[in-house]
Structure 1
Amino acid sequence: MSDNIIPRPIAWIVTENNGLVNLAPFSYFMGVCGEPSIVMVSVAKKKRHDINEPKDTLVNIKQTKKATVCLVPVELTEKMDKTSEVLPYGVNEAEKFGIELEKIDADFPPIVKGCKRAFLTTLYGTFEKEEMVNVAFFLEIKKMYFEGEFEPVARVGKGYARLCEMDNCVGRNYVEHIKELNTHYEGEISFLIQNKKIVGVGFGFDLTLREIQSRLKQKGLPWERAKAFKNAAVFSDFVEIDETENLEIEVYKNGKLVQKGDVSLMIYKPDFLVKDIDKIFGLADGDIIMSGTPKGVGGVEKGDKFTVRILKNKKVLIEKEFTCI
Protein backbone atom coordinates (compact mmCIF):
# COMPACT_ATOMS: atom_id res chain seq x y z
CA MET A 1 0.00 0.00 0.00
CA SER A 2 2.79 2.43 0.88
CA ASP A 3 4.14 2.19 -2.68
CA ASN A 4 0.81 3.28 -4.20
CA ILE A 5 -0.62 5.91 -1.85
CA ILE A 6 1.75 8.71 -2.80
CA PRO A 7 2.86 11.28 -1.91
CA ARG A 8 2.14 11.01 1.82
CA PRO A 9 2.81 13.95 4.15
CA ILE A 10 5.35 13.14 6.80
CA ALA A 11 5.58 14.53 10.31
CA TRP A 12 7.51 14.03 13.50
CA ILE A 13 5.17 13.03 16.31
CA VAL A 14 6.70 14.31 19.54
CA THR A 15 5.46 12.86 22.83
CA GLU A 16 6.59 13.40 26.40
CA ASN A 17 6.00 11.05 29.32
CA ASN A 18 7.49 11.31 32.81
CA GLY A 19 10.20 13.67 31.55
CA LEU A 20 11.19 11.44 28.62
CA VAL A 21 10.76 12.87 25.10
CA ASN A 22 10.12 10.57 22.16
CA LEU A 23 10.57 11.70 18.56
CA ALA A 24 9.33 9.53 15.70
CA PRO A 25 8.46 10.17 12.02
CA PHE A 26 5.11 9.01 10.62
CA SER A 27 3.81 9.20 7.05
CA TYR A 28 0.45 7.55 7.69
CA PHE A 29 -0.67 10.96 8.82
CA MET A 30 -3.39 13.25 7.43
CA GLY A 31 -6.02 15.87 8.22
CA VAL A 32 -9.50 14.44 8.59
CA CYS A 33 -11.73 17.27 9.86
CA GLY A 34 -11.81 21.06 9.78
CA GLU A 35 -14.24 21.74 12.65
CA PRO A 36 -13.04 20.64 15.12
CA SER A 37 -9.57 20.57 13.58
CA ILE A 38 -8.46 16.95 13.70
CA VAL A 39 -5.53 15.06 12.23
CA MET A 40 -5.08 11.29 12.19
CA VAL A 41 -1.85 9.39 12.68
CA SER A 42 -1.58 5.63 12.31
CA VAL A 43 0.86 4.07 14.80
CA ALA A 44 2.04 0.47 14.74
CA LYS A 45 1.28 -1.47 17.91
CA LYS A 46 4.76 -3.01 18.05
CA LYS A 47 8.21 -1.55 17.34
CA ARG A 48 8.86 -4.38 14.85
CA HIS A 49 7.29 -7.74 14.16
CA ASP A 50 10.26 -9.39 15.85
CA ILE A 51 10.31 -7.07 18.88
CA ASN A 52 7.41 -7.66 21.22
CA GLU A 53 7.37 -4.13 22.66
CA PRO A 54 4.73 -1.47 22.05
CA LYS A 55 5.70 1.64 20.10
CA ASP A 56 6.82 4.45 22.40
CA THR A 57 4.53 6.89 20.57
CA LEU A 58 1.55 4.58 21.09
CA VAL A 59 2.23 4.20 24.82
CA ASN A 60 2.81 7.92 25.36
CA ILE A 61 -0.28 9.16 23.51
CA LYS A 62 -2.49 6.68 25.33
CA GLN A 63 -1.11 7.69 28.70
CA THR A 64 -0.65 11.45 28.34
CA LYS A 65 -3.41 12.18 25.76
CA LYS A 66 -1.10 14.73 24.09
CA ALA A 67 1.24 14.97 21.10
CA THR A 68 2.98 17.65 19.06
CA VAL A 69 2.87 17.11 15.29
CA CYS A 70 5.83 18.76 13.49
CA LEU A 71 5.66 18.87 9.71
CA VAL A 72 9.08 18.06 8.32
CA PRO A 73 10.77 20.71 6.11
CA VAL A 74 13.13 19.70 3.32
CA GLU A 75 16.21 20.87 5.19
CA LEU A 76 15.56 18.42 8.05
CA THR A 77 14.90 15.35 5.88
CA GLU A 78 18.18 13.65 6.69
CA LYS A 79 17.77 14.05 10.43
CA MET A 80 14.16 12.90 10.22
CA ASP A 81 15.21 9.74 8.40
CA LYS A 82 17.68 8.88 11.17
CA THR A 83 14.95 9.00 13.81
CA SER A 84 13.11 6.11 12.13
CA GLU A 85 15.67 3.77 13.75
CA VAL A 86 14.13 1.48 16.37
CA LEU A 87 15.57 2.33 19.80
CA PRO A 88 14.98 0.95 23.30
CA TYR A 89 12.32 2.66 25.38
CA GLY A 90 13.67 5.69 27.19
CA VAL A 91 16.38 6.52 24.63
CA ASN A 92 15.96 10.11 23.50
CA GLU A 93 16.17 10.29 19.68
CA ALA A 94 16.82 14.03 19.81
CA GLU A 95 19.92 13.56 21.97
CA LYS A 96 21.16 10.53 20.04
CA PHE A 97 20.95 12.24 16.63
CA GLY A 98 21.73 15.81 17.65
CA ILE A 99 18.27 17.25 17.04
CA GLU A 100 17.38 20.44 18.91
CA LEU A 101 14.00 20.69 20.60
CA GLU A 102 12.21 23.85 21.66
CA LYS A 103 9.52 24.14 24.32
CA ILE A 104 6.99 26.70 23.08
CA ASP A 105 4.10 25.74 25.36
CA ALA A 106 4.40 24.29 28.86
CA ASP A 107 1.27 22.19 28.40
CA PHE A 108 2.48 20.29 25.31
CA PRO A 109 5.53 18.33 24.15
CA PRO A 110 8.27 20.42 22.47
CA ILE A 111 8.62 21.11 18.77
CA VAL A 112 11.63 20.20 16.66
CA LYS A 113 13.68 23.37 16.24
CA GLY A 114 13.70 24.33 12.58
CA CYS A 115 10.20 23.01 11.88
CA LYS A 116 8.05 25.86 10.62
CA ARG A 117 4.65 24.21 11.04
CA ALA A 118 3.53 22.38 14.16
CA PHE A 119 0.22 21.33 15.69
CA LEU A 120 -0.17 21.03 19.47
CA THR A 121 -2.80 18.35 19.95
CA THR A 122 -4.82 16.37 22.46
CA LEU A 123 -6.24 12.89 21.97
CA TYR A 124 -9.75 13.11 20.49
CA GLY A 125 -10.32 9.39 19.93
CA THR A 126 -8.89 6.12 18.65
CA PHE A 127 -9.81 3.38 16.20
CA GLU A 128 -8.37 0.04 17.26
CA LYS A 129 -9.19 -3.55 16.29
CA GLU A 130 -7.52 -6.69 17.57
CA GLU A 131 -6.67 -7.91 14.07
CA MET A 132 -5.13 -4.56 13.04
CA VAL A 133 -1.39 -4.07 13.43
CA ASN A 134 -1.86 -0.30 13.72
CA VAL A 135 -3.91 2.01 15.92
CA ALA A 136 -5.43 5.15 14.39
CA PHE A 137 -5.14 8.12 16.76
CA PHE A 138 -7.38 11.12 16.10
CA LEU A 139 -5.69 14.23 17.47
CA GLU A 140 -7.50 17.53 17.96
CA ILE A 141 -5.41 20.60 17.17
CA LYS A 142 -5.51 22.98 20.12
CA LYS A 143 -2.77 25.37 19.00
CA MET A 144 -0.78 25.93 15.81
CA TYR A 145 2.78 27.15 15.29
CA PHE A 146 3.67 28.89 12.01
CA GLU A 147 6.96 30.56 11.11
CA GLY A 148 7.97 31.90 7.70
CA GLU A 149 7.85 30.01 4.45
CA PHE A 150 7.75 26.24 4.36
CA GLU A 151 8.77 23.67 1.78
CA PRO A 152 7.44 20.31 2.95
CA VAL A 153 8.81 16.87 2.30
CA ALA A 154 6.65 13.81 1.62
CA ARG A 155 7.07 10.06 1.60
CA VAL A 156 7.02 8.46 -1.87
CA GLY A 157 7.28 4.69 -1.64
CA LYS A 158 10.45 4.05 0.37
CA GLY A 159 11.97 7.42 -0.49
CA TYR A 160 11.23 11.12 -0.02
CA ALA A 161 10.17 13.92 -2.35
CA ARG A 162 10.17 17.69 -2.18
CA LEU A 163 6.82 19.42 -2.57
CA CYS A 164 6.05 23.02 -3.55
CA GLU A 165 6.61 26.02 -1.30
CA MET A 166 3.63 27.01 0.80
CA ASP A 167 2.62 30.46 1.95
CA ASN A 168 -0.38 31.67 3.95
CA CYS A 169 -3.15 33.65 2.31
CA VAL A 170 -6.84 33.52 1.49
CA GLY A 171 -6.41 32.63 -2.15
CA ARG A 172 -8.48 30.77 -4.74
CA ASN A 173 -11.59 31.22 -2.62
CA TYR A 174 -14.05 31.32 -5.53
CA VAL A 175 -14.59 28.15 -7.53
CA GLU A 176 -14.30 29.63 -11.04
CA HIS A 177 -11.19 31.66 -10.23
CA ILE A 178 -9.18 28.49 -9.64
CA LYS A 179 -9.01 28.12 -13.42
CA GLU A 180 -7.42 31.49 -14.16
CA LEU A 181 -4.22 32.85 -12.66
CA ASN A 182 -2.16 34.50 -15.45
CA THR A 183 -3.39 37.96 -14.48
CA HIS A 184 -2.55 41.19 -12.67
CA TYR A 185 -5.53 42.62 -10.72
CA GLU A 186 -7.98 40.91 -8.43
CA GLY A 187 -11.02 42.66 -6.96
CA GLU A 188 -11.96 41.39 -3.50
CA ILE A 189 -14.62 41.91 -0.85
CA SER A 190 -12.57 43.06 2.13
CA PHE A 191 -13.50 42.99 5.81
CA LEU A 192 -12.46 45.28 8.65
CA ILE A 193 -11.85 43.56 12.00
CA GLN A 194 -12.49 44.77 15.54
CA ASN A 195 -12.64 42.58 18.66
CA LYS A 196 -12.02 39.58 16.41
CA LYS A 197 -15.27 40.25 14.53
CA ILE A 198 -16.20 41.72 11.15
CA VAL A 199 -17.40 45.28 11.71
CA GLY A 200 -17.00 46.78 8.25
CA VAL A 201 -16.82 45.95 4.56
CA GLY A 202 -14.92 47.60 1.74
CA PHE A 203 -13.46 46.94 -1.70
CA GLY A 204 -9.86 45.90 -2.17
CA PHE A 205 -7.60 45.47 -5.20
CA ASP A 206 -4.94 42.77 -4.81
CA LEU A 207 -2.25 43.55 -7.39
CA THR A 208 0.45 41.16 -8.61
CA LEU A 209 3.54 41.66 -10.77
CA ARG A 210 3.01 38.50 -12.82
CA GLU A 211 6.23 38.52 -14.83
CA ILE A 212 8.30 38.81 -11.67
CA GLN A 213 6.13 36.18 -9.99
CA SER A 214 6.66 33.75 -12.87
CA ARG A 215 10.43 34.17 -12.73
CA LEU A 216 10.46 33.65 -8.97
CA LYS A 217 8.29 30.55 -9.23
CA GLN A 218 10.57 29.06 -11.89
CA LYS A 219 13.56 29.51 -9.59
CA GLY A 220 11.69 28.15 -6.58
CA LEU A 221 12.00 31.49 -4.78
CA PRO A 222 9.52 33.33 -2.51
CA TRP A 223 7.00 35.68 -4.13
CA GLU A 224 7.35 38.74 -1.87
CA ARG A 225 8.72 40.98 -4.66
CA ALA A 226 5.67 40.15 -6.79
CA LYS A 227 3.03 40.35 -4.05
CA ALA A 228 4.30 42.74 -1.35
CA PHE A 229 5.47 45.79 -3.29
CA LYS A 230 4.39 49.34 -2.49
CA ASN A 231 0.65 49.90 -3.16
CA ALA A 232 0.10 46.19 -3.92
CA ALA A 233 -3.17 46.45 -1.98
CA VAL A 234 -5.54 49.35 -2.71
CA PHE A 235 -8.77 49.89 -0.76
CA SER A 236 -11.96 51.92 -0.82
CA ASP A 237 -13.45 53.39 2.33
CA PHE A 238 -15.14 50.89 4.65
CA VAL A 239 -18.77 50.98 5.80
CA GLU A 240 -20.20 49.45 8.94
CA ILE A 241 -22.02 46.11 8.72
CA ASP A 242 -23.34 43.69 11.33
CA GLU A 243 -23.51 40.54 9.17
CA THR A 244 -22.15 39.36 5.82
CA GLU A 245 -25.12 37.74 4.08
CA ASN A 246 -25.94 38.81 0.50
CA LEU A 247 -22.78 40.84 -0.05
CA GLU A 248 -21.79 41.23 -3.72
CA ILE A 249 -18.85 42.65 -5.65
CA GLU A 250 -18.79 44.25 -9.12
CA VAL A 251 -15.72 45.44 -11.04
CA TYR A 252 -16.05 47.46 -14.26
CA LYS A 253 -12.96 47.97 -16.40
CA ASN A 254 -13.22 50.79 -18.94
CA GLY A 255 -17.00 50.57 -18.67
CA LYS A 256 -17.24 46.80 -19.11
CA LEU A 257 -18.33 44.49 -16.27
CA VAL A 258 -15.37 42.12 -15.75
CA GLN A 259 -15.91 40.71 -12.25
CA LYS A 260 -19.08 39.87 -10.38
CA GLY A 261 -19.53 37.58 -7.40
CA ASP A 262 -21.10 37.22 -3.98
CA VAL A 263 -20.38 35.50 -0.70
CA SER A 264 -22.53 32.51 -1.63
CA LEU A 265 -19.87 31.56 -4.20
CA MET A 266 -17.07 31.54 -1.65
CA ILE A 267 -15.65 28.16 -0.73
CA TYR A 268 -14.72 29.51 2.72
CA LYS A 269 -17.32 31.90 4.12
CA PRO A 270 -16.36 35.11 5.96
CA ASP A 271 -17.09 33.83 9.49
CA PHE A 272 -14.92 30.75 8.88
CA LEU A 273 -12.08 32.93 7.55
CA VAL A 274 -12.13 35.06 10.70
CA LYS A 275 -11.98 32.03 13.02
CA ASP A 276 -9.33 30.24 10.98
CA ILE A 277 -7.05 33.26 10.52
CA ASP A 278 -7.37 34.23 14.18
CA LYS A 279 -6.50 30.68 15.25
CA ILE A 280 -3.37 30.59 13.08
CA PHE A 281 -2.07 34.17 13.10
CA GLY A 282 -4.22 36.12 15.54
CA LEU A 283 -6.32 39.16 14.60
CA ALA A 284 -5.98 42.71 15.93
CA ASP A 285 -8.27 45.71 15.72
CA GLY A 286 -7.90 47.39 12.34
CA ASP A 287 -6.79 44.27 10.51
CA ILE A 288 -8.25 43.74 7.03
CA ILE A 289 -9.12 40.35 5.54
CA MET A 290 -9.15 40.19 1.73
CA SER A 291 -11.49 37.30 1.05
CA GLY A 292 -10.41 36.13 -2.42
CA THR A 293 -11.52 37.06 -5.91
CA PRO A 294 -14.25 35.84 -8.27
CA LYS A 295 -13.64 35.01 -11.93
CA GLY A 296 -12.83 37.77 -14.37
CA VAL A 297 -9.42 38.94 -13.17
CA GLY A 298 -7.16 40.45 -15.81
CA GLY A 299 -4.24 42.65 -16.80
CA VAL A 300 -3.72 46.32 -16.00
CA GLU A 301 -2.41 48.98 -18.40
CA LYS A 302 -1.71 52.66 -17.98
CA GLY A 303 -4.92 54.67 -18.39
CA ASP A 304 -7.30 51.84 -17.46
CA LYS A 305 -10.30 53.12 -15.49
CA PHE A 306 -12.04 50.92 -12.93
CA THR A 307 -15.40 51.43 -11.27
CA VAL A 308 -15.94 49.10 -8.33
CA ARG A 309 -18.97 48.40 -6.19
CA ILE A 310 -19.87 46.53 -3.03
CA LEU A 311 -23.56 45.74 -2.73
CA LYS A 312 -25.74 44.25 -0.01
CA ASN A 313 -29.21 42.93 -0.77
CA LYS A 314 -28.75 44.48 -4.24
CA LYS A 315 -28.25 47.94 -2.72
CA VAL A 316 -24.97 49.75 -3.43
CA LEU A 317 -22.99 50.28 -0.23
CA ILE A 318 -19.74 51.45 -1.84
CA GLU A 319 -18.87 52.79 -5.27
CA LYS A 320 -15.41 54.08 -6.13
CA GLU A 321 -13.33 54.82 -9.23
CA PHE A 322 -9.66 53.99 -9.74
CA THR A 323 -7.38 55.04 -12.63
CA CYS A 324 -4.12 53.32 -13.46
CA ILE A 325 -1.35 55.93 -13.86
Structure 2
Amino acid sequence: MTGHFFDMPELPAIPVRGADRTFPVRRIFCVGRNYAAHAAEMGHEVDREAPFYFTKSPFALAHSGATIPYPPGTGNFHHEMELALAIGKPVFRAGPEEAARAIFGYACALDMTRRDLQQAERVKQRPWDLGKDAENSAVVAPITRAAEFGAVGDQRIHLEVNGRTRQDATLAEMIWKVDEIISHLSGFYHLAPGDVIMTGTPAGVGPVVAGDRITGGIDGLDDIALTIGEPE
Protein backbone atom coordinates (compact mmCIF):
# COMPACT_ATOMS: atom_id res chain seq x y z
CA MET A 1 0.00 0.00 0.00
CA THR A 2 1.49 3.33 -1.03
CA GLY A 3 -1.25 5.83 -0.28
CA HIS A 4 -4.90 6.82 -0.56
CA PHE A 5 -7.05 7.32 -3.62
CA PHE A 6 -7.71 10.91 -2.54
CA ASP A 7 -6.47 13.39 0.03
CA MET A 8 -8.30 13.63 3.34
CA PRO A 9 -8.85 16.98 5.07
CA GLU A 10 -7.04 17.70 8.30
CA LEU A 11 -8.97 17.28 11.53
CA PRO A 12 -11.04 20.34 12.37
CA ALA A 13 -9.67 22.37 15.28
CA ILE A 14 -10.90 24.89 17.85
CA PRO A 15 -8.95 28.03 18.85
CA VAL A 16 -7.72 28.27 22.44
CA ARG A 17 -7.87 31.58 24.30
CA GLY A 18 -4.41 33.17 24.57
CA ALA A 19 -2.64 30.42 22.61
CA ASP A 20 -1.12 30.25 19.14
CA ARG A 21 -1.95 26.54 18.87
CA THR A 22 -5.37 24.99 18.34
CA PHE A 23 -7.26 22.04 19.83
CA PRO A 24 -7.77 19.34 17.15
CA VAL A 25 -11.17 17.65 17.38
CA ARG A 26 -11.14 13.86 17.43
CA ARG A 27 -14.75 13.07 18.35
CA ILE A 28 -17.85 14.93 19.53
CA PHE A 29 -20.15 13.41 22.14
CA CYS A 30 -23.39 15.12 23.21
CA VAL A 31 -25.43 14.58 26.37
CA GLY A 32 -29.20 14.45 25.93
CA ARG A 33 -31.79 15.96 28.30
CA ASN A 34 -29.37 17.20 30.94
CA TYR A 35 -31.63 20.03 32.15
CA ALA A 36 -34.99 19.07 33.64
CA ALA A 37 -36.83 22.10 32.22
CA HIS A 38 -35.61 21.34 28.70
CA ALA A 39 -36.65 17.69 29.00
CA ALA A 40 -40.09 18.87 30.09
CA GLU A 41 -40.49 21.30 27.19
CA MET A 42 -39.67 18.44 24.80
CA GLY A 43 -42.32 16.26 26.46
CA HIS A 44 -40.01 13.93 28.37
CA GLU A 45 -39.08 13.13 31.92
CA VAL A 46 -35.43 13.09 32.92
CA ASP A 47 -33.73 9.71 33.15
CA ARG A 48 -31.91 10.03 36.47
CA GLU A 49 -30.35 6.56 36.32
CA ALA A 50 -27.61 7.50 33.85
CA PRO A 51 -26.86 10.10 31.19
CA PHE A 52 -27.38 9.19 27.55
CA TYR A 53 -25.52 10.37 24.46
CA PHE A 54 -25.55 10.96 20.74
CA THR A 55 -22.61 11.88 18.56
CA LYS A 56 -21.64 14.33 15.85
CA SER A 57 -18.89 14.03 13.28
CA PRO A 58 -15.81 16.20 13.90
CA PHE A 59 -16.53 17.60 10.44
CA ALA A 60 -19.81 19.02 11.74
CA LEU A 61 -17.67 21.64 13.53
CA ALA A 62 -18.17 25.32 12.74
CA HIS A 63 -16.46 28.26 14.42
CA SER A 64 -18.09 31.04 16.38
CA GLY A 65 -18.74 34.05 14.14
CA ALA A 66 -19.48 31.92 11.08
CA THR A 67 -22.37 32.29 8.68
CA ILE A 68 -23.81 28.89 7.83
CA PRO A 69 -26.46 28.06 5.23
CA TYR A 70 -29.89 26.99 6.42
CA PRO A 71 -29.50 23.22 6.15
CA PRO A 72 -31.29 21.03 3.60
CA GLY A 73 -34.14 18.69 4.42
CA THR A 74 -35.66 20.64 7.31
CA GLY A 75 -38.24 23.31 8.00
CA ASN A 76 -37.60 23.48 11.75
CA PHE A 77 -33.95 24.27 12.54
CA HIS A 78 -33.38 24.80 16.29
CA HIS A 79 -30.69 26.37 18.46
CA GLU A 80 -29.41 24.68 21.64
CA MET A 81 -26.90 26.57 23.81
CA GLU A 82 -24.44 24.35 25.69
CA LEU A 83 -21.26 24.10 27.75
CA ALA A 84 -18.62 22.07 25.91
CA LEU A 85 -15.80 20.16 27.61
CA ALA A 86 -12.47 19.60 25.84
CA ILE A 87 -10.60 16.48 26.95
CA GLY A 88 -6.83 16.83 27.30
CA LYS A 89 -5.72 13.52 28.88
CA PRO A 90 -6.51 9.84 28.26
CA VAL A 91 -9.24 8.62 30.59
CA PHE A 92 -10.85 5.18 30.78
CA ARG A 93 -13.05 3.69 33.49
CA ALA A 94 -12.29 6.66 35.70
CA GLY A 95 -13.91 7.87 38.87
CA PRO A 96 -15.18 11.46 39.04
CA GLU A 97 -11.98 12.91 40.52
CA GLU A 98 -9.74 11.38 37.85
CA ALA A 99 -12.27 12.33 35.18
CA ALA A 100 -12.20 15.98 36.25
CA ARG A 101 -8.41 16.06 35.87
CA ALA A 102 -8.77 15.08 32.21
CA ILE A 103 -10.51 18.36 31.30
CA PHE A 104 -8.33 20.59 29.12
CA GLY A 105 -10.83 23.41 28.97
CA TYR A 106 -14.36 24.68 28.43
CA ALA A 107 -16.17 26.52 25.66
CA CYS A 108 -19.55 27.86 24.64
CA ALA A 109 -21.19 25.68 22.02
CA LEU A 110 -24.33 25.42 19.89
CA ASP A 111 -25.93 22.08 19.12
CA MET A 112 -27.88 23.06 15.99
CA THR A 113 -30.68 20.58 15.38
CA ARG A 114 -33.02 19.69 12.51
CA ARG A 115 -35.85 19.24 15.00
CA ASP A 116 -38.47 17.93 12.60
CA LEU A 117 -36.13 15.18 11.42
CA GLN A 118 -35.11 14.31 14.98
CA GLN A 119 -38.72 14.02 16.09
CA ALA A 120 -39.77 11.98 13.05
CA GLU A 121 -37.00 9.46 13.68
CA ARG A 122 -37.74 9.34 17.41
CA VAL A 123 -41.37 8.37 16.74
CA LYS A 124 -40.14 5.45 14.65
CA GLN A 125 -37.56 4.54 17.33
CA ARG A 126 -34.74 5.19 14.89
CA PRO A 127 -31.39 6.94 15.51
CA TRP A 128 -31.32 10.75 15.53
CA ASP A 129 -28.44 11.15 13.07
CA LEU A 130 -30.37 13.10 10.42
CA GLY A 131 -31.59 15.54 13.05
CA LYS A 132 -28.40 15.97 15.02
CA ASP A 133 -25.33 15.15 12.92
CA ALA A 134 -25.76 17.82 10.27
CA GLU A 135 -23.03 19.83 8.58
CA ASN A 136 -22.13 22.95 10.61
CA SER A 137 -24.27 21.71 13.51
CA ALA A 138 -21.55 21.77 16.19
CA VAL A 139 -20.60 25.42 16.64
CA VAL A 140 -17.88 26.01 19.21
CA ALA A 141 -16.30 29.22 20.51
CA PRO A 142 -12.63 29.43 21.56
CA ILE A 143 -11.69 27.18 24.46
CA THR A 144 -10.73 28.59 27.84
CA ARG A 145 -8.31 26.40 29.79
CA ALA A 146 -9.78 24.68 32.82
CA ALA A 147 -7.46 26.34 35.32
CA GLU A 148 -8.41 29.78 34.03
CA PHE A 149 -12.15 29.08 34.09
CA GLY A 150 -12.21 27.45 37.52
CA ALA A 151 -14.93 25.21 38.90
CA VAL A 152 -18.22 24.71 37.09
CA GLY A 153 -20.93 26.06 39.38
CA ASP A 154 -23.77 28.52 38.99
CA GLN A 155 -22.39 30.43 35.99
CA ARG A 156 -25.11 31.92 33.81
CA ILE A 157 -25.74 30.31 30.41
CA HIS A 158 -27.85 32.27 27.93
CA LEU A 159 -28.75 32.65 24.26
CA GLU A 160 -30.34 35.40 22.20
CA VAL A 161 -31.80 35.45 18.70
CA ASN A 162 -31.67 38.88 17.07
CA GLY A 163 -31.04 40.36 20.50
CA ARG A 164 -34.03 38.75 22.22
CA THR A 165 -33.33 36.29 25.03
CA ARG A 166 -34.56 32.76 24.46
CA GLN A 167 -32.47 30.67 26.86
CA ASP A 168 -31.39 31.81 30.33
CA ALA A 169 -30.31 29.42 33.09
CA THR A 170 -27.27 28.46 35.16
CA LEU A 171 -24.85 25.56 34.87
CA ALA A 172 -25.94 24.50 38.36
CA GLU A 173 -29.16 23.27 36.74
CA MET A 174 -27.34 20.46 34.92
CA ILE A 175 -28.58 17.09 36.17
CA TRP A 176 -25.30 15.30 35.45
CA LYS A 177 -22.23 17.33 36.43
CA VAL A 178 -19.14 17.48 34.26
CA ASP A 179 -17.07 15.01 36.29
CA GLU A 180 -19.99 12.57 36.41
CA ILE A 181 -20.47 12.78 32.64
CA ILE A 182 -16.82 12.10 31.87
CA SER A 183 -16.64 9.31 34.43
CA HIS A 184 -19.73 7.60 33.03
CA LEU A 185 -18.73 8.02 29.37
CA SER A 186 -15.24 6.68 30.12
CA GLY A 187 -16.86 3.40 31.06
CA PHE A 188 -17.78 2.90 27.41
CA TYR A 189 -14.98 4.66 25.47
CA HIS A 190 -11.26 5.26 25.80
CA LEU A 191 -11.56 9.04 25.95
CA ALA A 192 -8.48 10.86 24.72
CA PRO A 193 -7.11 14.31 23.90
CA GLY A 194 -9.20 15.86 21.16
CA ASP A 195 -12.53 14.52 22.37
CA VAL A 196 -15.25 17.12 22.95
CA ILE A 197 -18.35 16.61 25.10
CA MET A 198 -21.35 18.92 24.74
CA THR A 199 -23.22 18.78 28.05
CA GLY A 200 -26.84 19.51 27.14
CA THR A 201 -29.04 22.56 26.80
CA PRO A 202 -31.38 24.45 29.14
CA ALA A 203 -35.01 25.23 28.35
CA GLY A 204 -35.94 27.75 25.68
CA VAL A 205 -34.81 26.01 22.49
CA GLY A 206 -36.55 27.18 19.35
CA PRO A 207 -36.42 27.68 15.59
CA VAL A 208 -34.26 30.04 13.57
CA VAL A 209 -34.60 31.12 9.95
CA ALA A 210 -32.34 32.60 7.29
CA GLY A 211 -31.15 36.04 8.35
CA ASP A 212 -31.27 35.33 12.08
CA ARG A 213 -28.25 36.08 14.26
CA ILE A 214 -27.66 33.91 17.31
CA THR A 215 -25.54 35.12 20.22
CA GLY A 216 -24.88 33.47 23.54
CA GLY A 217 -22.54 33.18 26.45
CA ILE A 218 -21.49 31.49 29.67
CA ASP A 219 -19.93 33.55 32.45
CA GLY A 220 -16.14 33.33 32.21
CA LEU A 221 -15.97 31.99 28.63
CA ASP A 222 -15.67 33.59 25.21
CA ASP A 223 -19.11 34.39 23.79
CA ILE A 224 -20.50 32.60 20.77
CA ALA A 225 -22.18 33.98 17.63
CA LEU A 226 -23.71 32.45 14.52
CA THR A 227 -25.58 33.84 11.53
CA ILE A 228 -28.05 31.72 9.55
CA GLY A 229 -27.66 32.23 5.84
CA GLU A 230 -29.90 31.37 2.90
CA PRO A 231 -30.23 27.70 1.90
CA GLU A 232 -27.78 26.49 -0.71
Which of 195, 199, 212 pairs up with 1:291? Answer: 199
- Counterparts of residues 246-265 of structure 1 (less than 5 Å): 246-265=154-173
Aligned CA distance change for structure 1 residues 211 and 245 (closer, same or farther; 3 Å): closer
* 1:227 partner amino acid: K
- Counterparts of residues 130-279 of structure 1 (less than 5 Å): 169-181=30-42, 184-195=78-89, 196=91, 197-242=102-147, 243-279=151-187
- SS of the residue corresponding to residue 257 of structure 1 reads strand
Please list every run of 5 or more consecutive structure 1 residues that lacks an aligned counterpart in the other structure: 1-167
> Offset at 1:318?
1.2
Higher relative contact order (CA 8 A, sep 6+): 2
- SS of the residue corresponding to residue 80 of structure 2 reads strand
Paired with 1:289 and 1:169, the residues of 2 have a C-alpha distance of: 6
TM-score by length of 2: 0.61
TM-score by length of 1: 0.44
> Offset at 1:321?
2.1
> Offset at 1:278?
1.1
> Offset at 1:217?
2.8
**Structure 1 segments (4+ residues) deviating >3 Å:** none
> Offset at 1:209?
1.2
* 1:185 partner amino acid: H
Q: Deviations over 1:143-180 (max 9, x none)?
A: xxxxxxxxxxxxxxxxxxxxxxxxx9511111111112
> Offset at 1:296?
0.8
- SS of the residue corresponding to residue 170 of structure 1 reads strand
* 1:322 partner amino acid: L
- SS of the residue corresponding to residue 220 of structure 1 reads coil
- SS of the residue corresponding to residue 324 of structure 1 reads strand
* 2:37 partner amino acid: E
What residue is the counterpart of 1:13 in the other structure? none
Paired with 1:169 and 1:249, the residues of 2 have a C-alpha distance of: 17
Paired with 2:191 and 2:164, the residues of 1 have a C-alpha distance of: 36
- SS of the residue corresponding to residue 249 of structure 1 reads strand
Pairs aligned (count) = 154
Aligned CA distance change for structure 1 residues 186 and 247 (closer, same or farther; 3 Å): same
- SS of the residue corresponding to residue 271 of structure 1 reads helix
